[in-house]
Structure 1
Amino acid sequence: MYADTQNEITRQVVRVAQLLLAYGADSELVEEISQRLGYALGLASVEISISSNSLVLTSLVHGRCITTTRRTREHGINMTVICELQRICLLTEKGLYGLYEVRKRVSRIRPKTYPTHYLVPMIGLSCASFCHMFGGDLAASILTFFASSVGMFVRISIAKHHFNLLLNFAVTAFVTTLIAQLGYQISFTETPKLPMAASVLMLVPGFPMINAISDMVKGHLNVGISRWGHATILTVASVIGITMAMQLGGLFL
């Protein structure tokens, strides 16, 4: 294998690892896909080291090592991207894709998101369903639907302007709770507490926490602790927003 070919394969493998980390894959999956793709493209060995915001990958062919470092930035959870990268790896292992095809397919990957006019009411409906499951009456469920829908719209609007994620969560929690506590102010529901609890469930960072535990259990302690800390800070930001809204509305924890 020529040096230029090894360089290009290493670039593609590390790019795949970078995308997997950016869109929410756990560290074990990143290592597995990177090594399998590297072996399928002709590398003799692929070693990868993952930290909270970067990764280092070393490839080996005929005693020649190439090491490259990449910085990683979170782009939000998107399983479409992760599944597409796994598909590319599988087809490469089967011999259907070569280096050129892998490069072309990876460059074409774009995260797919649901349209806002579909996403907002579905989030509202899911939170309203939780309110109903918790024992809320019809009025409480309707209030939950309205509060969580408005909150999700605010969250998406802030995200489009690329504000800090902590600020996003705090403002979204504040607006959502401010609307949800109307059940106390107007007294049109028998269960005014439930909309306040159910409407902010969309802010629970469940996936990052699951990944954090998975990483720590599988031995990736530094990445797991980092993800756990990030999820905890997001939760704290949400609590700050909720507390401010309750104080403004005259309610106290």
Structure 2
Amino acid sequence: MVWVDRDSIVKVCMIAGKIMLMSGAETHRVEDTMNRMAHAFGVESAQSHATPTGINFSAGMTEVNNFVRILKRPTDLHKIAEVNSISRKIIAGELSPEKAYRKLLKIEAAPPVYTVWLQIIIAALVSGCFVIMFQGTWTDFLPACIAGGLGFAVMAGMDRLLEIRYLAEFFGAFVIGISSYLLIHYGFALELDKVIIGAVMPLVPGLHITNAIRDMVAGHLLSGISKGVEATLTAFSIGAGVSLLFAFV
């Protein structure tokens, strides 16, 4: 069935791609989802192009091009799963463009499933677990939890204050280094390297690295390279923050 109102179809595809890209999805997955949704609504020659900072979409090669700018890309896999669920329902013919658009607006406006405080608690526990995984001792488990939780909290706070992710990660890593050193200095922990390594793991850009590789493999060279550079800058910020500690001690 071919839908006459192409504007509604374009709005559905654009907001779906926007939510996915802002939530950390790979660019080739964003394009594939948008094209599948458009095809399910009867648009045979939909054209989509996604980069980490923007989405272009057209209902045809000679149709008007639509563009949306992506400014922030926090990780929210739950929203990606929600959009994928709506996409499957559209392909199955269970949703009209109007109903799909309303559902997508609710997903876009929904707050994160995990609050900042819950993320801090999870980051703290993950930090301690990584110490054990890297063959550290149980004595360093709690200190790593403290350092990792403090570092993640500072990173989250500075990210809201500065709106520059790299500086936020730099300060978060610096706090991890300082707190780890103090915990070692006052005898609460044993191995400085294990505590620092475990505590910085929640800051490591694992998803960006994975998405960069997946985009490169899928032939999206521009997106793959840009995400790889972003992951490299993030890793450099974390390393610089920890290294700054050793410049003073």
Pairwise same-fold verdict (TM > 0.5): yes
- Would the aligned equivalents of 1:78 and 1:111 in 2 still touch at CA under 8 Å? no
Aligned residues: 246
CA 1:111–1:231: 2 relative to 1, 3 Å: farther
Residue 182 of structure 1 deviates from its aligned partner by: 2.4
Moved segments of 4+, more than 6 Å: none
**Mean Cα deviation higher: 76-85 or 12-21:** 12-21
With normalisation by structure 2, the TM-score equals 0.91
Query: 1:132 and 1:153 mapped to 2: Cα distance?
Result: 22
Contact 2:152–2:203 (CA<8 Å) still a contact in 1?
Answer: no
1:162 CA displacement: 5.0
Counterpart for residue 199 of structure 1:
199
Normalising by structure 1, we get a TM-score of 0.89
Counterpart code for 1:120:
I
Based on CA coordinates, which of the two structures has the bigger radius of gyration?
1
More off after superposition, 184-193 vs 89-98? 184-193
- Residue 101 of structure 1: how far off its partner (Å): 0.1
CA shift at 1:102, angstroms? 1.0
Q: Deviations over 1:61-99 (max 9, x none)?
A: xx9623212222233111111111111111112221101
2:237 is equivalent to residue 230 of structure 1: no
- What pairs with 1:1-253 in structure 2 (closer than 5 Å)? 5-60=5-60, 65-109=63-107, 110-248=110-248, 250=249
Name the amino acid aligned to 1:66.
Answer: V
Cα deviations by residue, 1:26-56 (Å, 9 ceiling, x for unpaired) = 1221121111111122212211122342222
Q: Which moved more, 1:115-124 or 1:91-100?
A: 115-124
> 1:115: how far off?
2.7
Distance 1:64 1:217, change over 3 A: closer
Percentage of matched positions with identical amino acids: 21
What is the RMSD of the two structures over their aligned residues, measured on CA atoms?
A: 2.0
Deviations 1:100-131 (A, max 9, x none): 10111111112423133433222111111111
Looking at structure 1, the residues matched to 7 and 91 of structure 2 have their Cα atoms a distance apart, in angstroms, of 19
More displaced stretch, 231-240 vs 103-112: 103-112
SS at match of 1:161: helix
Structure 1: stretches of 5+ with no match in the other structure: none
Letter in 2 for 1:47: Q
Contact 1:80 1:111 in 2 (8 A): no
Q: Larger deviation: 105-114 or 206-215? A: 105-114
User: What amino acid maps onto 1:88 in structure 2?
Assistant: I
